[in-house]
Amino acid sequence: MDKINNLENLEVTEPSIIVANHSSYLDHFALLYAFRKANNNEKLYFLAKSELFDKWLSRKWQTTMNAIPIDRDGDNAGTLNQMKSILKEEKKSIVIYPEGTRTYNGKVHIGKQGALVLAQVTKAPVVPVGIEGAFDVLPRKTLVPHKEKINLNIGKKFFVKVTKANRGLLQQKMMQNLTRLSKGVFELEADDIHQSMLDTVKEYNELGIRDYPYSNVSSTEYHRRALYITKQLLKTGFKKNEVLVEQARAIGKLGMKHNRLWALMRLRHAKYLVEQTKKHDDEYYMADYVLATCYNWLPKSWGGSKIKAQKLYLSAIKKEPTKIFTRLSYSKFLQKNKQYSASLEQAKYILKLKPEDLVDKRRKIEALEVIMRMNKSYDPEEEGLING
């Protein structure tokens, strides 16, 4: 635990329902530590899925943590009555994770409305707690934690007045508040979880590459998240080739955060992964692009090849000619290898392409910079690109 912000908001003067985002087994410990610190070792209950009580060791641990089992898909009238008794008669507080399970991609999801229903029938206040960083320390289905920090950001308590008409809106507002407190990203439930996971992997890899200075998540953690999710996806067999390409991107970028030997080993491994995907599917342009990058960065003694890199860049561009980032990378590759006229040609072509997003707009500015560095007489104002 690193920081607990606004601990005073967790000082309960009456039995309360504590709601939090859920991303790790460590969430229990973090909340229990903060709650006891704020309330002189007061007893605290947790709501937990009934499956955690099936095995002896897990059941023993949950019982030690004062966990209450709930069947997420069954009739829970008995559990609801038990929670009402804890709040009204025993006068103790309860932790509920509205998402119902640990996040599979690091984002906060809409979850279920049980906490709001309980708050309505008991008139107990709701205390929102954002858990920041736990996903990067110990995500689901992992045993070895990373050396990252966990912060708790505790919001002010609130009371609810729930009706059938406003229940969905109140749930969304509550989860968006938890997203803000946990400094995360809110995501409505996806129709296809596996596709959502793959989309998130691509997003994390891109954010890791961008490495924005004011992000609360480091580029290393973004790539670690991407690597973790790809490992989970590969177990399902979902779009294996795309997943392997994204895994290769994450591995390569993580390798470059370390010493040169480790970087070369990771890049060679990334190269191997993409080569395997191309044996099964040679139509995916990103496989060509990532493999080109590996061949470009690796020295010849480690399997690198400028000739193969150039062919793969051209192959990626042929398959997706309107992708700005592939052309920009290729233009910079050509410039570095003193193929100046070809580099200029690619950079000028980029200026004609329509950007897909803000990052593409920035890439077009980079392309303009490439042109102006190689052509001293080039005037973007005369070309109509900049107003004087």
Strands 44-49 and 93-96: parallel
Q: Cα(252)–Cα(291) distance, rounded to whole angstroms?
A: 11
C-alpha angle 175/176/180, rounded to 5°?
Answer: 115
CA distance 170 to 165: 10
Amino acid at 168: G
**Amino acid identity, residue 104?**
Y
Query: What would the pLDDT profile of 6-32 be if each residue is shown by its tens digit?
Result: 999 999 999 999 999 999 999 999 999
CB 41 within 8 A of CB 47: no
pLDDT in 10s for each residue of the chain, 388 residues: 789 999 999 999 999 999 999 999 999 999 999 999 999 999 999 999 888 898 888 899 889 899 999 987 777 788 899 999 999 999 999 999 999 999 999 999 999 999 999 999 999 999 999 999 999 999 999 999 998 899 999 999 999 999 888 999 999 999 999 999 999 999 987 789 999 999 999 999 999 999 888 898 999 999 999 999 999 999 999 999 999 999 999 999 999 888 899 999 999 999 999 999 999 889 999 999 999 999 999 999 999 999 999 999 999 999 999 999 999 999 999 999 999 999 999 999 999 999 999 999 999 999 999 999 888 888 877 777 655 4
Q: DSSP for 123-182?
A: ---EEEEEEESHHHHS-TT--SPPS---EEEE---B-----TTTHHHHHHHHHHHHHHHH
Q: How far apart are CA 83 and CA 314, in angstroms?
A: 63
Which of 205, 210, 235, 239 shows the shortest CA–CA distance to 222?
A: 205
Phi, then psi, of 130 in degrees rounded to 5: -95, 125
- Could you read off the pLDDT of 119-177 as tens digits, one per residue? 999 999 999 999 999 999 999 999 999 988 999 999 999 999 998 889 999 999 999 99
Distances in whole angstroms, Cα of residue 121 to Cα of each of 81, 124, 165, 239: 10, 8, 16, 45
User: For residues 106 and 8, is the Cβ–Cβ distance under 8 A?
Assistant: no
Q: Is 96 helix (H, G, I), strand (E, B) or coil?
A: strand
**What secondary structure, in 3-state letters, does 206-254 show?**
HHHHHCCCCCCCCHHHHHHHHHHHHHHHHCCCCCHHHHHHHHHHHHHHH
Question: How many helices (DSSP H) and strands (DSSP E) are in the chain?
Answer: 15, 9
- Region of 141 on the Ramachandran plot (φ > 0 left; ψ -120 to 50 alpha; else beta): left
Q: What is the pLDDT of residue 388?
A: 43
